[in-house]
Chains A and B, each alone.
Chain A
């Protein structure tokens, strides 16, 4: 039987590396929009669906969702004391974040189609 263990160091590294990436990407995206505005939907779609931007946005979403997972997990590890409540809450949050991730991925794929 595989026992599900929470991580300490890995979660900490993932959260901080993700935060650094999100900060860099947000600065880049804001600068790109400021320097080269894309007022029409077609221009916007073309920019977002390029290979590099799709990869960048995909990584941003991954960083955001893992960052949220670690942050919310920390809150529950601190405050949700009955283990059953803690595990059930984590399961719900995990499923919700996964759903958001799949939904966002679908949008990205459709934009590229």
Chain B
């Protein structure tokens, strides 16, 4: 298997460059991450993040043949020719495939991703009806890998001002949560030309989400909610395509 991987050591290199590798596949190489881990045994200077190895933590998000995805759930059998691996587009590179996600998480934090409810808590827990719970479907499953925001042109142009698809999906998750009581404040926080309305419905976010979520749909529903249209049901989801050639 041939790979071309973006390399960058800030102590040695003035800019990133592509390095070619060739590695023979073995029976245990099911996912791209399996191959990368064996590659790292050959070249210990190669840097990338990984943790759970099963598409839950989102650590190994990267650009795979020009399309963001998780190396750990990208089947090797779907990859043809030379596999080109680059760090998540637009995120500052720390080293090789490791990117700085500070701004990404600052935007996530700016939507206050926690429940706010000034009412006295009940003795046991705040209950939801099944219909209220259904509204969270398609939003709570986000693993914050950054694939969507990194593939979003609107986020490329205004990363400091536009919350980005991942943050807005989470904003929606708390806006529609029946246990949260500061919906007006949350909507007010997204008014203005930049934080929500930079979205041009390009839908790269839905296209690359490794969990099959659709942040663009959440953004559309937030806009509707601003016009006092109450959301019903959960968000659309789709089966994410496995790694493409």
Q: Mark B157-195, 1 if CB is under 8 A from A, else 0.
A: 110000000000000000000000000000000111111
Minimum distance in angstroms from B99 CB to a CB of chain A? 22
Is B223 part of the binding interface, using a Cβ–Cβ cutoff of 8 Å?
yes
Residue in B closest to A78 when the chains form the complex, CB atoms:
B157
Chain A residues contacting B91 (CB-CB under 8 Å) are none
Is B196 part of the binding interface, using a Cβ–Cβ cutoff of 8 Å?
yes
> Total A-B pairs in contact (CB under 8 Å)?
34
Known contacts A6-B192, A8-B193: does B198 contact A77 (CB below 8 Å)? yes
A6, B193: Cβ atoms closer than 8 Å? yes
Chain B residues contacting A6 (CB-CB under 8 Å) are 192-193
- Please, how many angstroms separate the alpha-carbon atoms of A98 and B190 in the complex? 30
Is A13 part of the binding interface, using a Cβ–Cβ cutoff of 8 Å?
yes
A9, B200: Cβ atoms closer than 8 Å? no
Q: Mark A77-97, 1 if CB is under 8 A from B, else 0.
A: 111000000000000000000
Minimum distance in angstroms from B62 CB to a CB of chain A? 26
A8, B157: Cβ atoms closer than 8 Å? no
Chain A residues contacting B48 (CB-CB under 8 Å) are none
Chain A residues contacting B158 (CB-CB under 8 Å) are 77-78
Q: Taking beta carbons and an 8 Å cutoff, which residues of A are in contact with B? A: 5-9, 11-13, 73-74, 77-79
Task: Give the 3 A-B CB pairs with smallest separation, nearest first.
Answer: A8-B197, A6-B193, A78-B157
A-B contact sample (15 more), CB < 8 A, given A8-B190, A73-B193, A78-B158: A6-B193, A7-B193, A8-B191, A8-B195, A8-B196, A9-B191, A9-B197, A9-B227, A11-B197, A12-B223, A13-B227, A74-B200, A77-B193, A78-B198, A79-B157
